[in-house]
Structure formats: structure tokens, C-alpha cells
Amino acid sequence: MASPYTPDEPSSSIRAEETWLQGALLSGIVFGVEITLAAMSFSAIYKQMGSTNRIRNACFMAYIVVLSALMTAAQGLSAEFIQMGFITHRYYPGGPSQFFIEQYSTPTNLVATILLVCANWCMECLLVWRCKIIYCGDNSHLWSIMLVPSLLLIGSFVTGGLFIRHTLGSTVPTTYALAYSGTSLVLNLTTTAIIVGRLLMYRRRVTKIFGPGHGSHYSTAAALIIESASLYTGFLLLIIVPFTINNPISNTFQQVIAQVQSVSSFLIIFRIAQGKGWSATTGRAMAYITTTRESEGRQNRYELNVPAENEAAVLQSKLHEALTGLSPTRGDLAV
């Protein structure tokens, strides 16, 4: 028997309202993780301000502040929009779910959407930059490899701009939302594949030089997930697929996706701040080591016999030796 207090609305509307509320609660949880990571990343970068990479660290700190500000403002406005649907306009014809659809372009949600799109552009730029850094040791193929991610990044700016423009209408711009989300998904899938492929290739090279059991420092499951931001890619699929088949569960993941992507970005920065992230010098030194060993005819000989747990220290030591052998006057070796 139905409860007499159940709203006089179709079950589909009630289900949609449930997904909106669940998404708001979940986004608040992930937002807490995001702010924590932002603070940890900022603190770790700040402690390195006296190092040689002062400009890079300053850029990272500015990036963290800007991204945190965008996400915090968007989080507050999104919460206000949810409050408008469930409390301020609770008697809107069709219920809160209909309010969220028909009043999508209300100023509160419109500003939140613009902020989230801008934040997404910042995070995609970071991912493409990481792709370039990881491939910078291969200057002969760098630009051919970066062509597709760069074009997709431009496409993300274009489709995102069109999405914002048509959000000024009265309802959700479904076509442009799918175009923008699809472009972002392809961009992230492409960069994920490129980054993971490169790290696995370097693992093979390290194993060839140091022997079996080595080469996992930059290619563990955690490293691959963080460096390639594949966490965001997976969540993006959870939005696009239900959205395409008109399943309301997409409302839940839609409110969380921006926070998940920012978490992925802050994880990348935090990993770099800890000295665990792949850097431009790492790639160049790795290429130098491989070329030197092959020229000596020792590419199939293991130079060191050390426990696998010491591989990170050994690898860093060998990379340092390789870097000292690189000419500091060569402009293409600048970090």
C-alpha cells in the first residue's frame, strides 16, 4: 500500500529526484577529498619553492588556487540550485526533477555550469601537458604524437563554448552536452592510452637494463591510474552511457564528475611534488641510458643485481648519473 505522504508524481519523476539528491550528497563527499588533496599539494609544492624549479612550482601553486576557487564556487552554486528545486520551488509543476530540466539556464546553475566547463578546460590542459612531458624524451616523434591530443583539446574548447552558448536557452542543450562530453571522453581516452603505453614501454626498457623484477616504479597500477587520469575517464563513461539511454542515474554521476576530475589533477600534482611523477629529465635520461647501453652492446645484460624493493633508489641513481652526462648547454634538455 502506497504511503499517503508520497508526492502525487509519476514514479519516474520520483526516481529522478532521488538521483539528483544522491548526486548532491556524493559530490559533497568527493569535494571534501578534493579540497584535502588541494591543500596537501599546495603545501608540498610550497616547501619546494627554494629549489631550482621555482617558476614551475609557482605555476603549480597558481593552478591549484585557481582550480580550487573555480570548483568551490561551482560547488556552492550547484548546492544552491539543488536547494531551489527541493525547497524554494518545491511545488513547481512536475516536481523538482522537472524544475531542474526546465530551469537549467537559471542564473545560479548557468554560472555554475560555466565555472565547471572552465575548470574542465584547465584540467584537460594539465593532462595534455603531462602527455607532452612523458613523451619529451622522444623529440623525433613528439609533435606527431601530440597532434591528436592537441586537436582534441581545441575541439573541447569549441564544443564547450557551444555548450555554454546554448545553455542560455530554456532547457538542457542535450545535443551540445553530448558533443562536449564525447569530445572530452575521446581526449581523455586518447591521452590515457598514450601515457599508459609510454610508461609500459619505459618499464620494458628499465627491465632490460636492470633485470627482471624492476621497472615498476613508474608503471604500477596506481602510477598508471594517476598519471593518465583514467579515474576521470571511467566516471565520464558513467555519465555518457546512461545519459544517452535517458537513464536518470546520469544525474548522480553528472554532479560528481567535475570533482572526480579535479581529484585526478591534484593527484598528478601531488605525485610530482613527492618526486614520484615522471618528469622531462626522467624521459631524456632514460633515453640517454638506453642509447648508451645499446651503443656499448650491453642492452641485454643486467648491470645491477639488487632487490626489487630498492629499484626506485637504484633507478634514480642511474638517472642522476645519466643526467650528469648530458650536456648542460643543449637547449633541448631544459626542463
pLDDT tens string, the chain, 335 residues long: the values are 466 767 777 787 888 888 888 999 999 999 999 999 999 999 988 888 776 778 888 999 999 999 999 999 999 999 999 999 899 988 888 888 888 888 888 899 899 999 999 999 999 998 898 888 877 765 667 778 889 999 999 999 999 999 988 887 656 677 888 899 889 889 988 888 888 787 777 777 666 666 555 555 555 555 555 555 677 777 878 888 888 888 888 888 888 888 988 888 888 888 877 766 555 555 555 655 555 555 554 444 444 444 544 545 555 555 555 444 433 333 333 33
pLDDT for res 116:
92
| 242-255 b/e (C-beta count within 10 Å ≥ 16 → b) | bbeeeebbbbbbbb
In a domain, 10, yes or no: no
In a domain, 330, yes or no: no
The total domain count for the chain is 1
Of the candidates 30, 45, 38, 43, which has an alpha carbon nearest to the alpha carbon of residue 66? 38
Q: Integer distance in angstroms from the first to the last C-alpha of the chain?
A: 69
Q: List CB contacts of 311: < 8 A, sequence separation 6 or more.
A: 210, 213, 214, 215, 216, 217
pLDDT for res 191:
87
- CATH code of the domain in which 192 resides: 1.20.1070
In a domain, 271, yes or no: yes
pLDDT for res 306:
44
Grid coordinates given for 276: 614520484
pLDDT for res 278:
57
Grid coordinates given for 184: 572530452
In a domain, 335, yes or no: no
In a domain, 83, yes or no: yes
In a domain, 331, yes or no: no
Tell me the HSE value of 121 on the side-chain side, using a 13 A CA sphere: 16
What is the rounded CA–CA span in Å between residue 13 and residue 7?
A: 10
Question: How far is C-alpha 192 from the chain's CA centre?
Answer: 10
What is the rounded CA–CA span in Å between residue 112 and residue 110?
A: 5
What is the rounded CA–CA span in Å between residue 40 and residue 49?
A: 15
Q: Cα-atom radius of gyration of the chain, to the nearest Å? A: 24
Check: CB of residue 180 under 8 Å from CB of residue 165: no
pLDDT for res 243:
82
In a domain, 2, yes or no: no
pLDDT for res 326:
39
Determine the structural domain holding residue 216 and report its residue range. 15-300+309-319
In a domain, 66, yes or no: yes
pLDDT for res 94:
84
